[in-house]
Amino acid sequence: MRIWAVANQKGGVGKTTSTLTAGALLAARGKRVLLVDLDPHASLTAYLGHDPDAVAASVYDVLQSRIPLAEVSRPSMIENLWLLPASPALATLDRQFGTRQGGGIMLKRALASVRDDFDYVLMDCPPTLGILMINALAAGDFLLIPVQAEFLALKGLERMIRTLAMISRAREALPYLIVPTLYDKRTRASREALEFLQHHYSTQLWELVIPVDTQFRDASKLGLPLTAMNPQARGVLAFAALLDTVLAMEDEAAERASLMRVRYG
């Protein structure tokens, strides 16, 4: 089971869209996928048709070790795609967990209990640095950082990179990829933001972009991933290319690790 976090310390950059679209694409390729909504705003949960104020149990109960993850996750209308829903109560976790020992690895532990049930777990993170973000970064094997191609959005990326540096003291390095989103090649703001990213983050930057595609909004109105509404939409094709990049990066990393084992036992 592979675990990916989708995070940026800024809202409106495409985190939820990336989580859902990448997850739905993996599901369409026959992988068993669990989406974890870690945002107290619960946009992903609402998107998939559940009222966050009315869900019987959520990831909140899982992080509190009250209900096993397998009992809280539920299938979506898409085959192979499951959801671990969020609820507004998540916003209170920081106060409750604050400094509790082990509070940062609750999710990692809970996910270990379903490691044979899913091929991929994708976690949609809140835009704030707190116990939920810490849990996601502790549990993840890979991090996707969607960045809106717009100058103001680059601040969120800076904060995210600082958080990563902090986290890397507590765990082995978390490989990550910066993904320019909402890219509109006709606007100077988009082009300039991309140039900035290429200049300052070149080694960690995906070589392509997720373009603005108004069909994402249409799909959200239907409560469907865009992959199910129009698999040929340019936004979907861009995410399919992103997926290929991430899967190739993971394969390379696995190959390196097995070479190391052969060499050093």
Which residues are near ligand ADP by CB under 6 A? 11-17, 43, 181-182, 210, 212-214, 216-217, 220, 235
* Among Mg ion, ligand ADP, none, partner that 217 touches (CB below 5 to 8 angstroms by kind): ligand ADP
User: What residue is closest to Mg ion based on CB?
Assistant: 16
**Contact pattern for Mg ion over residues 174 through 213, marking x by CB under 5 A:** ----------------------------------------
**Binder among 9, 16, 45, 190 for Mg ion (CB under 5 A):** 16
Euclidean distance between CA atoms 80 and 73, whole angstroms: 12
DSSP SS3 for 223: coil
Euclidean distance between CA atoms 149 and 193, whole angstroms: 5
* Among ligand ADP, Mg ion, none, partner that 101 touches (CB below 5 to 8 angstroms by kind): none
Q: Nearest distance from residue 81's CB to Mg ion, in Å? A: 17
* Among ligand ADP, Mg ion, none, partner that 210 touches (CB below 5 to 8 angstroms by kind): ligand ADP
Nearest to 197, CA basis, from 186, 183, 216, 212: 183
Euclidean distance between CA atoms 243 and 190, whole angstroms: 22
Token code pair at residue 28: 């369409």
* Among Mg ion, ligand ADP, none, partner that 220 touches (CB below 5 to 8 angstroms by kind): ligand ADP
Instruction: Decide: 85 and 71 in contact? Cβ < 8 Å.
Output: no
Spell out the residues 6+ positions from residue 111 whose beta carbon is closer than 8 angstroms to its own.
Answer: 1, 3, 69, 121, 139
Task: Provide the edge-to-edge strand list for the sheet that holds 142-148.
Answer: 74-75, 81-84, 33-37, 120-124, 2-6, 142-148, 176-181
| Residue 58 is a binding residue for Mg ion (CB under 5 A) | no
Nearer to Mg ion, 46 or 242 (CB): 46
Nearer to ligand ADP, 114 or 197 (CB): 197
* Among ligand ADP, Mg ion, none, partner that 216 touches (CB below 5 to 8 angstroms by kind): ligand ADP
Euclidean distance between CA atoms 166 and 159, whole angstroms: 11
Q: Nearest distance from residue 76's CB to ligand ADP, in Å? A: 17
Instruction: Decide: 221 and 3 in contact? Cβ < 8 Å.
Output: no
Nearer to ligand ADP, 84 or 114 (CB): 84
DSSP SS3 for 247: helix
| Residue 45 is a binding residue for Mg ion (CB under 5 A) | no
Count the residues of the shown chain that bind Mg ion, applying the rule CB under 5 A: 3
Q: Over 140-173, what HEC string results? A: CCEEEEEEECCHHHHHHHHHHHHHHHHHCCCCCC
| Residue 43 is a binding residue for Mg ion (CB under 5 A) | yes
| Residue 8 is a binding residue for Mg ion (CB under 5 A) | no
Of 38-46, 166-174, 199-207, 247-255, the window that binds Mg ion (rule: CB under 5 A) is 38-46
CA 220 to chain centre: 17
* Among Mg ion, ligand ADP, none, partner that 21 touches (CB below 5 to 8 angstroms by kind): none
* Site residues, Mg ion (CB under 5 A): 15-16, 43
